Structure 1
Amino acid sequence: MPDLRFQSQPPAHTEIPRPKRAEGQWSLGYTEPLNKNEQSKKDDDALNVRDRILYTYSKRGFASIDPADLRGRFRWMGLYTQRAPGFDGGKTAMLEEEELDDEYFMLRVRSDGRLLSHEAVRALGTIGVDFARDTADVTDRENIQYHWIRIEDVPEIWERLDAAGLSSLEACGDSPRPFLGSPVAGVAKDEIIDGTPALEEIFDRFIGDPAFSNFPRKFKTALTGHPSHDVSPETNDVSFVGTVHPEHGPGFDCWVGGGLSTNPRLAEKMGVWIPLDEVADVWSAVASVFRDYGYRRLRSRARLKFLVADWGIEKFREVVEKEYLGRELVSCDSPPSPTGHRDHIGVHEQKDGKFYVGVAPVAGRVSGSLLVELADTIEEYGVAGARLTPYQKIVLVGVDADRVEDLVTRLDEIGLSARPSQWRRNTMACTGIEFCKLAIVDTKERARDLVTELEKRFPDLDTPITVNVNGCPNACARTQIADIGLKGQLVMHEGEQVEGFQVHLGGATGLQANFGRKLRAHKVTSAGLDDYITAVVGNYLVDRQDAESFATWVARAEEELLRGEKALTPS
């Protein structure tokens, strides 16, 4: 295995002890693949599959696809086979992946914090209409995700994306996954620094570069210069967070090693100051550490968070500086954490006197035709463009003051409310069993039905309560950091296995960052979810003190109130 690090880097000065058991770390000499995934990547760089899709598979059809490409390298092109119809959640862990494969694909298109013009939004919409049975979802990684994609149609889809300045390259796989950028970059009144140029530089320099196409596993990036930390920086592999140095001015701190799934861990803060024009260099250094020192033996330990946990943040920073940057970073206290998160929903004045408008599709579900309508609306009202958010929302940027109210009315007419209920505003859901081969339960429709019911039961809820619905333990919808996190699983009810959820309560990011409280042996059936959340929220509204948040209340509440076994009544 060749050394893929930059040839200009200085000699290593840090001493990394050789572990007793091989973890597959390239820099320690363990270059032989220790599992089938690593062998597949060694056999052929996944980036090479693009040409096979264009010139072979799209012309010969699904049956012609090499299994190693189909269930491995296709992911680097943003393509996953979707779940075949007819398999319930009990089959998810019992059947091999190929048995769950349908002959259609999910396609993930990255936006990377870009401002999408009306032409780009229209291209995204027409792809959904023409090739994806009118599907389209806004994901919590600022992607547009389609279903029912045929391999024969991929070349034309890519042509349309290229023409719109968009891409599905490395949207999945053991690669630099799509970046999270602040939806209000460059326009928010209270922004510390606009990081857009840094995200563009990282994309231009490193996406599609073979030196960064083979990580131990996925590598998630976030960057924001907004004080609300609106990209969930605590849960990404590497995040750049706006900060102010007392002498040097605005720049970015670097946080590393965040991630959720079955072993959740919040990112460690380096406590540094990085100028805008050096962010891409630091990104490449952190990414290189992960590539060269990351654990490749077990997929379950192949995320950066495990390396950071074992080394500690001081050792990690030392390796970044000495082995990859060749210089020390400027130390600076990490920026203060905000309370809660900022989703940018509603109407807000920009620093240039124009406005941005955040709208809330329910649980991120839109459609190709809705995106076409949105593109028409953006063009008609002279809006500068749209950004996707890490909370499955859409923000329209650059709205003239005298057109705001007419625009808000028009958006509401097409199903994108800028003044949604707290439930619609604060509910997220992953793809779920409808299309995902890892899922155990339905999520999207269950979340939409839940929102509708809770709007009836609590029509005037006066405080945000986030509800994140996930179809399996992988936490794509960030269940552990929601007020109410729901992890899909099969549960026993009256002697039968039915769809249900393990409940996490009181999770948060920002100042109160923590993972939700789990109650021992507490499960809720999907059918009983409306009543359970009604009981818990009802108890909170009765028992809260002054402006106490849901997460703060959960931390002190009696367990029977959290289980919904006891119902408080207003005095």
Structure 2
Amino acid sequence: MPKETAAQRVERIKTEKSGLDVLRDIHHYAIHDEEPHPEDIDRFKWYGLYTQNTNLQASSDETLYFMLRVKLVQGAINLEQLRVLSSISKEFARGTANFTTRQAIQFHFIRVRDLPEIFYRLKSVGLSTVFAAGDVPRNIVTCPVAGVDEHEIYDVTKVVAQVNDYFDGNKDLANLPRKYKVGISGCSKHCMGHEIQDLSFSAVEFEDGRVLFDVSAGGGLASNKQFALHLGFVEAYKILEVVKAVSIIYRIYGLRDNRKKARLGHLIDAWGLKKFKEEVEASLGFIFEKGAAQEYTPYAKREHFGIHKSKSNGKSFVGCAVNGGNIGAKGLEDLADILEKHGATTIKATTTQNFVAIDVPSDAVNNLVEDLDAIGIDANPNPFKARTISCTGIKFCKFAISETKDAAIDLAEHLHAKFPDFKETVSISLNGCPNSCAHPHIVDIGLLGKKFKDENGETVSGFELVLGGTLEGDKSRFGEKMKLNIKADEVNNTVEKIIASYIKSSKKYIGLFLKDLIDGDEFTIYDLK
């Protein structure tokens, strides 16, 4: 018999036993201290678990460690949840805890034998890892200041809750062709990033005063690198209907023969946008409304940093930057203490590995900001710390080639030290492998993990430079690979030279500078060496 392909193996595993049904096996392995079956390890993803790299593992330690991702519904964490997450990090994850680009939080060094207790603690405060990974609907991304921002176009809190309820542990959606990412936002700054979602809804205010939602589908990075395509507009109350229709169409007709061509965007490519739209509309029983292309905020400006007046009387919200999303056990505990001290109760994670404290009493907000600053969390971050993101990196990820978390923190600090008066926010991404977990293709300066030969012919780990990406509706563009390999210890100086060249240039915005650098109109890449 011919050997199974990767896609055939995964499809067989999912058919033979649902990923949702692996929970009882997790408990069995934990109680009996048994080695998990390899096929069950694949199913562990349905509960947010991935095996991690062994780089930081002692040679004598044969433990199978996992990364555990916890979904944060609408990105929210309250005080009780912060303290439980901190306890899990401290007791079971060696103090690790990182915010992700999908408004979740993840831990490392998780052992199977500890999972029943971890799951119990999460459940006790209303948190879950169900569908945090696997071929399922992932955590819905949304604006972290929905419902409190005076400038939002539409409060999507209730709509997101409805869609989340539909997705939550839905057995009908437990076997999709691949991961499936949905975003819903009424943000005036368009912070959700609709252009790279499988399915997204972005609020738009029309001239007649109505608010409709721009529906886009088929976006993604990595193997399905393409921007989402516009389907039309719908009213808020129809969003759940559209989600249901598209989800079922994807489940039934999604391509399953090749894991690299199994996302919703690949189905749209195979069918064509016209056919896909017709199928969705036929399922809905209504057609999408038409409208002109919308203007969207450039990616680097999609943020909510600083102190802002809330819709709630006497309250403010405060957008804060965290170094590379790395919060840790102590950071979570300190954050809970500071919030409680000043009468706040909740934070919401962002899609840029940061967070917003959403209900701070206005008369306490300045003192809260001072206390946060004392633990390294900035409400007014410098333009490099603000938008530098990173993936898990070689410390924990099996696919990574290069270290990213510490490198990202060091790079942001280096750039701020070199350019203390620089004001324009620059989006930077350090991605440890050729995949796109840290979105290196949609930032100003992307660093993509790579192995290459150095000047002595030795194979080294480093990065490939990617420049000029951004999200801005139909003006979005992916960054260009510059065919410049950078050793890990040369990253800071290389990016410094890019910023220094921009400062010396005649360009008013770094995006224009990078476009010319890519096109070769004024600058050449060898200037950076």
**Would the TM-score normalized by the shorter structure come out above 0.5?**
yes
Partner of 1:303 in structure 2? 263
Match of 2:50 among 73, 80, 97: 80
Secondary structure of the residue that 1:536 maps to in structure 2?
Answer: helix
Contact kept, 8 Å, 1:255 with 1:269, in 2: the verdict is yes
Partner of 2:368 in structure 1? 407
Q: Which moved more, 1:78-87 or 1:177-186?
A: 78-87
CA distance in structure 1 between the aligned counterparts of 2:525 and 2:330, rounded to whole angstroms:
41
Report the CA distance between 1:61 and its aligned residue: 2.1
Partner of 2:385 in structure 1? 424
C-alpha change, 1:103 and 1:34, in structure 2 (3 Å) is: closer
Superposed counterparts of 1:286-301, under 5 Å: 286-301=246-261
CA distance in structure 2 between the aligned counterparts of 1:359 and 1:196, rounded to whole angstroms:
21
Match of 1:45 among 5, 18, 21: 18
Partner of 1:269 in structure 2? 230
Report the CA distance between 1:169 and its aligned residue: 0.3
Give the percent of matched residue pairs that are identical in Structure 1 and Structure 2: 35
Partner of 1:533 in structure 2? 495
Superposed counterparts of 1:87-486, under 5 Å: 103-245=64-206, 249-275=210-236, 277-322=237-282, 324-340=283-299, 341-353=301-313, 354-486=315-447
Superposed counterparts of 1:12-51, under 5 Å: 35-51=8-24
Task: Could you tell me which runs of 5 or more consecutive residues in structure 1 were left unpaired when the two chains were aligned.
Answer: 1-31, 88-99
2:287 corresponds to which letter in structure 1? Answer: E
2:478 is aligned with 1:515: yes
Partner of 1:22 in structure 2? none
Contact kept, 8 Å, 1:271 with 1:333, in 2: the verdict is no
CA distance in structure 1 between the aligned counterparts of 2:170 and 2:118, rounded to whole angstroms:
22
Secondary structure of the residue that 2:462 maps to in structure 1?
Answer: strand
Q: Which moved more, 1:202-211 or 1:138-147?
A: 202-211
**Aligned positions, number:** 517
Report the CA distance between 1:257 and its aligned residue: 0.4
C-alpha change, 1:442 and 1:296, in structure 2 (3 Å) is: same
Report the CA distance between 1:42 and its aligned residue: 0.8
1:37 corresponds to which letter in structure 2? Answer: V
Partner of 1:25 in structure 2? none
Q: Which moved more, 1:387-396 or 1:288-297?
A: 288-297
Report the CA distance between 1:284 and its aligned residue: 1.4
Report the CA distance between 1:560 and its aligned residue: 9.5
Contact kept, 8 Å, 2:516 with 2:522, in 1: the verdict is no
CA distance in structure 2 between the aligned counterparts of 1:181 and 1:428, rounded to whole angstroms:
18
Report the CA distance between 1:33 and its aligned residue: 11
Report the CA distance between 1:106 and its aligned residue: 0.4
CA distance in structure 1 between the aligned counterparts of 2:56 and 2:170, rounded to whole angstroms:
39
Contact kept, 8 Å, 1:433 with 1:443, in 2: the verdict is yes
Contact kept, 8 Å, 1:360 with 1:394, in 2: the verdict is yes
Contact kept, 8 Å, 1:253 with 1:274, in 2: the verdict is no
Superposed CA offset, 1:230-254 (max 9, x none): 0111111111111235558223221
Superposed CA offset, 1:64-111 (max 9, x none): x111011x1000000111111279xxxxxxxxxxxx996111000011
CA distance in structure 2 between the aligned counterparts of 1:537 and 1:390, rounded to whole angstroms:
24
Report the CA distance between 1:467 and its aligned residue: 0.8
Q: Which moved more, 1:556-565 or 1:77-86?
A: 556-565
Report the CA distance between 1:318 and its aligned residue: 1.0
Report the CA distance between 1:310 and its aligned residue: 2.9
Report the CA distance between 1:334 and its aligned residue: 4.8
CA distance in structure 2 between the aligned counterparts of 1:262 and 1:550, rounded to whole angstroms:
28
4+ long deviations beyond 4 Å: 245-248, 560-564
Contact kept, 8 Å, 1:241 with 1:252, in 2: the verdict is yes
Superposed CA offset, 1:284-322 (max 9, x none): 111112111111000010111112223333322211121
CA distance in structure 2 between the aligned counterparts of 1:295 and 1:458, rounded to whole angstroms:
48
Task: Could you tell me which runs of 5 or more consecutive residues in structure 2 were left unpaired when the two chains were aligned.
Answer: none
Secondary structure of the residue that 1:241 maps to in structure 2?
Answer: strand
Match of 1:61 among 33, 36, 50: 33
Secondary structure of the residue that 1:566 maps to in structure 2?
Answer: helix
Contact kept, 8 Å, 1:138 with 1:388, in 2: the verdict is yes
CA distance in structure 2 between the aligned counterparts of 1:109 and 1:330, rounded to whole angstroms:
37
Partner of 1:502 in structure 2? 464
Contact kept, 8 Å, 1:554 with 1:562, in 2: the verdict is no
C-alpha change, 1:395 and 1:34, in structure 2 (3 Å) is: closer
C-alpha change, 1:291 and 1:492, in structure 2 (3 Å) is: same
